[in-house]
Amino acid sequence: MTGWDDVLGLTDQSIPVTDHDELFVVASVTERTAVIDYVQDWFGGDDGRSALRLVVDGADCGVLHRSDAYALVSPSDRGGLGAGDHSTLPGYSVAYELLTLRCPQPGCRVRGVAVSYDADDPPACSLHHMPMRIDA
């Protein structure tokens, strides 16, 4: 995690204050994660934003440039190795197989189809109210 010293170390204190500066006024007691979240959201909210002047406890601490703010993002913000495992691709699956179901009562002609089947909670025959089975 990045601490306050790291955040302030990224600022450029050589840039003089102007009337057009965007200010982020914060107290030093504010948790660094809240500051980092705000900075990320602020830069992420508008691609045209290039710099943010930090004022901590009333003192000008310099300008944080967008390019330097990227250093505030830790690798855990993007997920670790394997974070994408078991994810799904966008869109709808077309690989479904229809399951044919039948009533187990001899002579019953009630049939059904399903795309999923839960053996613990199978659909019931509408005539005999018995759990339907997958027809092999």
What is the pLDDT at residue 2?
A: 45
Q: Is the residue at 80 inside a domain?
A: no
Contact of 109 with 125, CB cutoff 8 Å: no
Q: Is the residue at 135 inside a domain?
A: yes
Q: Is the residue at 89 inside a domain?
A: no
Domain count along the chain: 2
Residues 63 and 99 in one domain: no
In the structure encoding, which two tokens stand for residue 77, read together?
């913000």
Residues 9 and 67 in one domain: yes
This prediction has a pTM of 0.53
What is the pLDDT at residue 76?
A: 56
Chain centroid to Cα 57, Å, comes to 33
Cα(53)–Cα(14) distance, rounded to whole angstroms?
12
Which structural domain range is residue 112 located in? Answer: 95-136
Q: Is the residue at 82 inside a domain?
A: no
Q: Is the residue at 88 inside a domain?
A: no
Chain centroid to Cα 18, Å, comes to 37
Residues 13 and 45 in one domain: yes
Q: Is the residue at 79 inside a domain?
A: no
Cα(136)–Cα(134) distance, rounded to whole angstroms?
6
What is the pLDDT at residue 104?
A: 94
- The domain that contains 12 carries what CATH number? 3.90.1280
What is the pLDDT at residue 1?
A: 38
Residues 9 and 70 in one domain: yes
Q: What is the pLDDT along the chain (136 residues), one digit of tens a residue?
A: 345 788 889 999 999 988 888 888 888 888 888 888 888 888 988 899 999 999 888 889 999 999 998 888 765 555 666 666 666 667 766 667 778 899 999 999 888 888 788 889 888 888 899 999 998 7
Residues 109 and 70 in one domain: no
